[in-house]
Amino acid sequence: MATIYRQQRQRQTPSALWPALLVLGLAVTVLGLLLIFNPFATAGTLAVLAGVALVLSGIGETIAAARAENSAGTAFFGILLILGGIVVLMWPGVTLRVLALLVGAILIITGVVRALVTRASQSREVGGHGAVPSYALAAVSVVLGVLALAWPDATIVALAVIFGIQLVVTGVTEIALGLALRPRTRA
């Protein structure tokens, strides 16, 4: 999503969807903060929060795909997030171990897909500037996913904080992109 909107910014093309990105970014950030500051929630509550956050992130990615040209990778990424969120929401009584494995796998897959989409879009761009934030988000996602898989018996506190950090980073990025794409008034 970051690469698509960066291309629009470079062309000075404002997006009519910037309010949706802003709202989704705020929602994902708030959910991330809830996970960080309420780590003693039950596994079921964590599953619901994680599922809602994944669905909202997926909707944001899907909106980005709808707005962009050649966005099959971004659409796939959004659909993957939505499906992962639905799986988590439909299985709220999941144990912490299974939740850690599920979230870890989702984070690794989405991180790899984000890196591949960024690489593919960079190969089409001239100059290739500005891919660092997308690659950084992909790397954070993969690292956090590996950590979740390596320690599936970790306490709910650790999982909540790790996933919360990921959501805050994603939410703040979506907020920044939404604000960057709002139409500028000419004075």
Query: pLDDT in tens for each of the 187 residues of the chain?
Result: 555 555 544 454 556 778 888 898 999 899 888 878 877 665 667 777 778 888 988 888 888 777 776 677 778 888 888 998 898 888 766 656 777 788 789 889 999 998 888 887 776 665 555 677 788 888 998 998 888 788 776 656 676 787 788 889 988 988 888 888 887 766 5
Please give the Cα distance from 79 to 90 (Å, whole number). Answer: 16
Q: What does the domain layout of the chain look like in residue ranges?
A: 2-180
Q: What is the DSSP string of 42-74?
A: -HHHHHHHHHHHHHHHHHHHHHHHHHSSS-HHH
Fold assignment, 2-180: 1.25.40
Please give the Cα distance from 150 to 16 (Å, whole number). Answer: 42
